[in-house]
Amino acid sequence: MSHRLILMLKFPTPGAVKTRLAPALGQQRACDLHRALVRQTLAEVARFAKQEPVAVEVRVAGAPDASSARVWLGDAVAIRDQGEGDLGDRMDRAVICAFSEGASSVVVIGGDCPQLTAEHLSAAFATLAQSDAVLGPAADGGYYLIGQRRPLSVLFHGIRWGSTEVLAQTLAVARAHSIVVAQLATLHDVDLPEDLRHWAGTPAARAAGRSGLSIIIPALNEEAQLGATLLAAQREHPHEIIVADGGSTDRTVEIARTHDAIVLAAPAGRGRQQNFGADVATGGMLLFLHADTILPANYPELIRTTLARPGTVGGAFQFALDGAFTGRRLIERGTNWRARSRQMPYGDQGLFLRRETFDQLGGFPDQPIMEDYEFVRRLRRLGRIALADGAATTSGRRWQRLGPWRTTLINSLMVLGYRTGISPDRLATWYQRPRRSSAGTSAFPGNKAPASVI
């Protein structure tokens, strides 16, 4: 065959692949993602190979032996070792070898671009009929594909591999040597935590999590509460738990990692953090959970049963408070009455819905307060919001700090103000005044949705 397609892959060893994702995912989960990305790439390569005649070759780095590489990749592709040197040396060696073996054009790709399709590969080889080389620009400043019509070793040397200047430096070298380079569409690699959304949006990722539950927890300085919340969530083995941290300065991030959650550095603000977490979630159902709320036993089945009710588009758990203080039972009864009769649960009850419904709503509004309230109002327009047959227990610290009646009055005034058109920015300022005068402030300064209101 005159066309040669070469994949440059690292052997999937925890701690050796996707290292920049390990702080967010952990080493094992990062390695699992690496495997999934490679499977996705190989599937597109196989689809392309059915359409056009091409010899496919995989160059592997870091494999303990040839048999391990074969077990991983199967028998459908030729496998060779990448050899020594930096990435440029290894790609140059692979390209020169392909041309020496009779290839008329060579395209090299990696295995971490989930947006790469058979159509991109077809376009790359077609482009080489008119150009000396072709590049597939990556959004991070690198490239996901390079193709050549003849050996062009100069394009592989003097490049700062792994930097944001790879594409620019390569193009500069090409211009200096009068090499005609065509460019394909810009795509996204998955190298950093903020890139995870590009994987999460693929059909492969959604298919893997279609029946699963993704729990998204926005957090900011929640070291005292988060551990218990995560323990209760882990108990039923959900598809994934995502902690979207808004810039904690305490041990929140450390605790989340200790409990094997996916940890994301998100833009501050509860609505933004929840949307950020949802962007990388792959589960078919989403549960938005406050960092101080304990889920009931068997909560995944409670969620599935609730969402299966006719006409139901979302739901929440029944409301319960921990701690002993005057008025606690009355607050619980009033909150559950409101959530059931008016279909207006709040975020501290755990809001859940199907992924497609969340996408239809466009996520949480970007506002400094009342984002859960507004989200539920919009959700209610699509259908019924039901209460699950189980209670989530949220911390009573807010009521204990300000007093139950004062807290309820403040929260009621926030809802009244919002409904009469007072801006969320002004409401957020008013909401913080009594809290700053108390012992301590909200975990979400300026971004706290009012706690449950009777």
Per-residue pLDDT tens for 343-399?
A: 999 999 999 999 999 999 999 999 999 999 999 999 999 999 999 999 999 988 878
Model-level pTM?
0.90
CATH number of 71's domain: 3.90.550.10
| Structure token pair of residue 18 | 């996707």
User: 142: helix, coil or strand?
Assistant: coil
d(CA 301, CA 238): 11
**What pLDDT does residue 384 have?**
97
Residue 107 lies in a domain: yes
CA proximity to 214, closest of 164, 256, 274, 161: 274
Residue 93 lies in a domain: yes
Residue 443 lies in a domain: no
Phi, psi of 263 (to 5 degrees): -115, 120
89 and 125 assigned to the same domain: yes
294 and 174 assigned to the same domain: no
Residue 203 lies in a domain: no
368 and 425 assigned to the same domain: yes
Domain count along the chain: 2
Cβ-based burial of 381 (10 A; exposed 0-12, middle 13-18, buried ≥19): exposed
Residue 430 lies in a domain: yes
Residue 201 lies in a domain: no
Cβ-based burial of 322 (10 A; exposed 0-12, middle 13-18, buried ≥19): middle
Choose one of 183, 202, 231: the last residue of a domain. Answer: 183
154 and 220 assigned to the same domain: no
The residue ranges of the chain whose pLDDT is under 50 are 438-454
CA proximity to 174, closest of 144, 143, 132, 136: 132
74 and 216 assigned to the same domain: no
DSSP string covering 43-74: HHHHHHHHHS--EEEEEEES-SSHHHHHHHH-
106 and 222 assigned to the same domain: no
409 and 278 assigned to the same domain: yes
Choose one of 132, 166, 183: the last residue of a domain. Answer: 183
Residue 453 lies in a domain: no
**What pLDDT does residue 412 have?**
86
CA proximity to 17, closest of 63, 58, 59: 63
21 and 140 assigned to the same domain: yes
**What pLDDT does residue 450 have?**
46
pLDDT in tens, 265-292: 999 999 999 999 999 999 999 999 999 9
179 and 215 assigned to the same domain: no
**What pLDDT does residue 130 have?**
94
**What pLDDT does residue 442 have?**
41
**What pLDDT does residue 1 have?**
55
Residue with tokens 């790469």: 116
**What pLDDT does residue 436 have?**
53
Residue 98 lies in a domain: yes
**What pLDDT does residue 434 have?**
56
176 and 317 assigned to the same domain: no
**What pLDDT does residue 405 have?**
81
CB-based contact 198:257 (threshold 8 Å): no
User: 293: helix, coil or strand?
Assistant: strand
376 and 233 assigned to the same domain: yes
170 and 98 assigned to the same domain: yes
Q: In terms of residue numbers, what domain contains 226?
A: 211-436
